[in-house]
Amino acid sequence: MGAYKVRVSQPVQPAISAATRLCAVFGSPIKHSASPAMHNAAFAALGLDWRYVAFEVDPKHLRAAIAGAQAMRFAGINLTVPHKLLAVEMVDELDASARTWGAVNTIRFGESGTTGFNTDADAIITSLREDLKIEVPGARVLLLGAGGAGRTAALRLAAENAAELFLVNRTQGKAEDVARDIRSQFPSVKVSTAYPKDGVELVLNATSLGLKFDDPSPLDERQFSLKAARAVYDMVYRPAETRLLLAARYSGCRTANGLGMLLRQGAKAFEIWTGQPAPLDVMRRALKANIYGPAKL
């Protein structure tokens, strides 16, 4: 072996310069976001002189932060907890996706102003299909959570012709608000705000429970047994196996965490900003390395 090692597997990004384009994610908390790893790997793979960074932004500064990014000619930003609903009022125009799902997780800065998109909603359906082999049309789904993520998931599942939705949330009133919207927009979908009495195809966790290691499961197993579920999807992706997913695996359910959803919403945002097809495999590998560690690739 010579003294020099040449690494050919990692594409080298152009050095940061005055020409480098910037994207970012704004959230609070943001420290554990895997989005920078995913997007920077994608920029590098396509040889783009672009970078993606993460900023801790308090909701009271969100409007100023968006205006600042626009003034500094960022290409685009992502928004995560707790900004997705607030941002609807802070963009010049809403793409149909953001209008339909009532939340903005992606902003594009263009010559004519700011456009808000929602790339989360479709990512849920794609990830359920590809990572869990769940077809939503005709399915009975127990959905845990009626915050921003839960609301988008409920509406998107209804739009996809789920047969019946059971919406369970700590704050019952929020689940009832979502149920009311579904009854008026999607009258053919049965919806209730209690645990199901019979089996379901899918249990979907859209609460934030599971993110912290001592969080209880979002599912009350005295009210619903995982033995009555075919599959369980947890939008939480860190830790990779939450208390809910572990229990589901022991009960014989198919399981998936939220990595696939993060990947697909990110891929769509990448295409909106760059106009180029997202390198999905590169992005998936970067996410897995970031979340599971390089050894698990």
Instruction: Please give the positions annotated as active site.
Output: 84
Residue 107: closest CA among 141, 127, 80: 80
Residue of minimal CB distance from ligand ATR?
147
Specify the residue, 89 or 92, whose C-beta has the smaller distance to ligand ATR.
89
Distance CA 256, CA 232 (A): 7
Query: Interface residues with ligand ATR (CB under 6 A)?
Result: 81-82, 84, 145-150, 169-171, 174, 207-209
Specify the residue, 42 or 191, whose C-beta has the smaller distance to ligand ATR.
191
**What residue has token string 């969100």?**
62
Distance CA 182, CA 118 (A): 19
Q: State in angstroms the smallest separation of the CB of 81 from ligand ATR.
A: 5
Q: State in angstroms the smallest separation of the CB of 144 from ligand ATR.
A: 8
Q: Kindly give, in sequence order, each residue whose CB lies less than 8 Å from that of residue 233, ignoring residues fewer than 6 positions away.
A: 127, 128, 131, 132, 134, 202, 203, 204, 205, 255, 256, 257, 258
Specify the residue, 103 or 200, whose C-beta has the smaller distance to ligand ATR.
103
CB 186 within 8 A of CB 218: no
Q: State in angstroms the smallest separation of the CB of 228 from ligand ATR.
A: 21
Q: State in angstroms the smallest separation of the CB of 175 from ligand ATR.
A: 8
CB 268 within 8 A of CB 280: no
Q: Kindly give, in sequence order, each residue whose CB lies less than 8 Å from that of residue 99, ignoring residues fewer than 6 positions away.
A: none
Specify the residue, 192 or 208, whose C-beta has the smaller distance to ligand ATR.
208
